[in-house]
Structure 1
């Protein structure tokens, strides 16, 4: 099972294996408070794509397409799949205030589609 959770929410036992899926460390959060098992920068959007998107909802559909193309070429995806297949629960941790329009939502959907094939 893959869950999503903001890094600013309190970690819990139900989160299972916690992976930060952001390229940049979230502001105002210590490593102790984040309680992460892993930080996987390689599954986040490229700096250029992240800056281009800039959380602009008008760019959301194109962002999803561009990001999926980046994920197809990512070596980190196989590492992430290996972790997911070993763990009962994996929580992708993200910093965005927008819980519906962020790269981690796209990543979760992408991984779930790969695993369902």
Structure 2
């Protein structure tokens, strides 16, 4: 989220449920906002970026993405990825324990 926009990164999509604090809605580092593709508030609070909970977090998150507005948001994210280069944007500090890992695996077909 806080890195400068690079010319070859394609479309940027913010995939957080909450808008990043201190960032203007017009900030070019954000791009499009798909908040419904992010984990629910309840799941996010339960998980708390605890490495011991990541596998269970991933299962619960995938279940959330399977239905309702979350499934629609994931379908939109896949559509955007199929159109060309896509950069997922988040304010999360530890990317290795974040929902971006799960979304990246889904978009890569794993």
Report TM bin, short chain.
0.7 to 0.9
Q: CA deviation at 1:37?
A: 2.7
Higher mean Cα deviation, 33-42 or 56-65?
33-42
Is 2:55 the partner of 1:58? no
Any idea what SS the aligned residue of 1:13 has?
coil
Q: Which has the higher strand share?
A: 1
The C-alpha deviation readout for 1:39-90, integer Å capped at 9, x for no partner, is 0001101111111111111111110111111112212111111111112x10
* 1:44 matched residue in structure 2: 38
For structure 2, the residue ranges without an aligned partner over 5 or more in a row are none
Higher relative contact order (CA 8 A, sep 6+): 1
TM-score under structure 1 normalisation? Answer: 0.82
* 1:31 matched residue in structure 2: 25
Structure 1 residue ranges, 4+ long, deviating more than 4 angstroms after superposition: none
What is the number of residues matched between the two proteins? 107
Any idea what SS the aligned residue of 2:80 has?
helix
Inter-partner Cα distance in structure 2 for 1:49 and 1:68:
11
Any idea what SS the aligned residue of 2:44 has?
helix
Higher mean Cα deviation, 90-99 or 24-33?
24-33
* 1:68 matched residue in structure 2: 62
Q: CA deviation at 1:94?
A: 0.8
8 Å Cα contact 1:18-1:90 kept in structure 2: yes
* 1:81 matched residue in structure 2: 78
Q: CA deviation at 1:34?
A: 4.4
